[in-house]
Structure 1
């Protein structure tokens, strides 16, 4: 996953993300080493060099699984080249001793893993630091000591992204369940790659909160960011955004998750949602007698699920009878009949401005009251900050 977002100097104490040149260097080094080892020319210093290079690759952020895949690709190419030189007419794999190949792969894999082990500890520590720092900001607790000890500069202003991930399907072993269960790790990796540690997340399998300095992303880029996160997570990510100065983050997080809850209750799935886009819906769903009255306007349809479904799709299709009919596999005249029945039962005519306004408002109020709340809410109990190293 790539991004063009720039990070101001000194914002985070992180290594830059890996580049294409770094990945090609991995492949080249492994190819050279494999040919030398297969020819019997490998020396201990070559493995020590591989270990040093692997440690550098780890610091540059190249995932170990990527390095191991390139190691195997390099060996495969080395086998083909060596086999072709030894016996061009024979199968390349048979021209090379299988035990030798397996032994070399085992040696190189162990070398790479040994080099990555200390770096994995460092990466884990950085992740824990960012999560602890984010949790402290979300809860309004002091952050100066933790930030100073770990070389992280607290921004003056943040985008607050409240995130919702879809629940995993009940069926075990299915592809949709696999994608859902792996969504959170993939989301964390994508977020780290996109902003090189500038984003501060507090995430769970349901979703969570991401604090993103406004200096690294403008408002216009946030929609693309959520789309990128959805692609990386392989599930639709639904998000609500608020902008807040650092001191007001706790209140801003509450507002962002309140907006996300409204989005969820209204049945809006995926994408980024802003307060300005849902100001009317937000106001209509504030607790009070008006909310109860509006919701009760559709009570006559409680035993008429087809009528309620038709009304929802009619509004979702911008009051187009033809589109509503196509979506419900009905004749347009049937849609007209159902709208007429709704008017008879509720006293609200969708063909008149006043009736249209009240029906839409009642549908919003009813959705908010009857649909379950979003499972993702910010957590007041923060993770314990890691020990400084």
Structure 2
């Protein structure tokens, strides 16, 4: 119950006692000002500030006393909820989000960034983290598993890439880059792009770095070259059988016999299809130059239109 003029007001009376519109507006302005003073601590402090904002108006003071603790309970519940949400530190690193200085200083000076694409994604994340090693940070991006592995772990015992490659066992791809903690965003972008090139280029399962795709990386990072290459191969998209034939031919390392066996067709049928590919694209897939051009074009087509993010000098890790 609330006291007013020597008698108690019931909650219903408090709620029905609505002040004039201008007094309410003035009260709300004072409440906003009180909010700038509040430290976020005890409920009594909040009630005191709200009561002060009521400026002696008994009805407004009654509302402040009744609503203050409720508001504090609401804020306390919200703070508990946000405190219970774990920080996706690996996700922040992958996205280049600014980190508090104390969090940034707590990072290992250097990391191995590994982006993993499983041929058949499953519930193997816990096992992958265990293989990567202690203190590994893990998140997911674009269907890939992203690992930030403290580089210090690579100095003792078996290298993490060796362990991860063995664990994959031919069931996926792994692209890596290494960076100091201020440039992890840059390292993540590099490893992610290498993985895209590896998958688009139909490379076999295994571990890759930028040194394994230098030509493709240099060519596809140039926007005009990437666009022109994609235009070379795009007409082939209208011919599903020919597209699958070229894919199988590249996957067979340009061996006609191996490609024919993989497609379950006669060698002469394969030769006919390869000639049709030359008619459409202008490049002979059985020649060295033609094979190189068409492979680069297929990779460019696969990554064309996808933005390539650039990292700054600090990677955006600290405010």
TM-score, reference length from structure 1: 0.48
How many residue pairs end up in the alignment? Answer: 226
Q: Could you tell me how far 1:135 is from its partner in structure 2? A: 4.7
Partner of 2:128: 187
Runs of at least 5 residues in structure 2 that lack an aligned partner in the other structure: 1-85, 308-314
Contact 2:254–2:286, Cα closer than 8 Å, also in 1: no
2:114 is aligned with 1:161: yes
2:273 is aligned with 1:335: no
Cα separation, partners in 2 of 1:295 and 1:218, compared to 1, 3 Å: farther
Partner of 1:55: none
Cα separation, partners in 2 of 1:243 and 1:147, compared to 1, 3 Å: closer
Partner of 1:145: 102
Question: In structure 2, how many angstroms separate the alpha carbons of the residues matched to 1:250 and 1:206?
Answer: 18
Q: Could you tell me how far 1:142 is from its partner in structure 2? A: 4.3
2:209 is aligned with 1:209: no
Cα separation, partners in 2 of 1:257 and 1:326, compared to 1, 3 Å: same
Contact 1:239–1:272, Cα closer than 8 Å, also in 2: yes
Partner of 1:224: 162
Cα separation, partners in 2 of 1:198 and 1:321, compared to 1, 3 Å: same
Greater shift, 314-323 or 351-360, is seen at 351-360
Runs of at least 5 residues in structure 1 that lack an aligned partner in the other structure: 1-127, 169-179, 374-379, 383-389
Aligned residue runs from structure 1 range 276-295, under 5 A: 276-286=211-221, 288-295=223-230
Aligned residue runs from structure 1 range 58-97, under 5 A: none
* Residues 11-51 of structure 1 deviation map (CA, whole Å, 9 limit, x = unaligned): xxxxxxxxxxxxxxxxxxxxxxxxxxxxxxxxxxxxxxxxx
Question: In structure 1, how many angstroms separate the alpha carbons of the residues matched to 2:142 and 2:275?
Answer: 44
Cα separation, partners in 2 of 1:346 and 1:335, compared to 1, 3 Å: same
Question: In structure 2, how many angstroms separate the alpha carbons of the residues matched to 1:204 and 1:290?
Answer: 27
Corresponding residue to 1:199 among 136, 147, 167? 136
Contact 1:140–1:249, Cα closer than 8 Å, also in 2: no
Q: Could you tell me how far 1:277 is from its partner in structure 2? A: 0.6
Aligned residue runs from structure 1 range 109-128, under 5 A: none
Partner of 2:180: 245
Superposed CA RMSD: 3.9
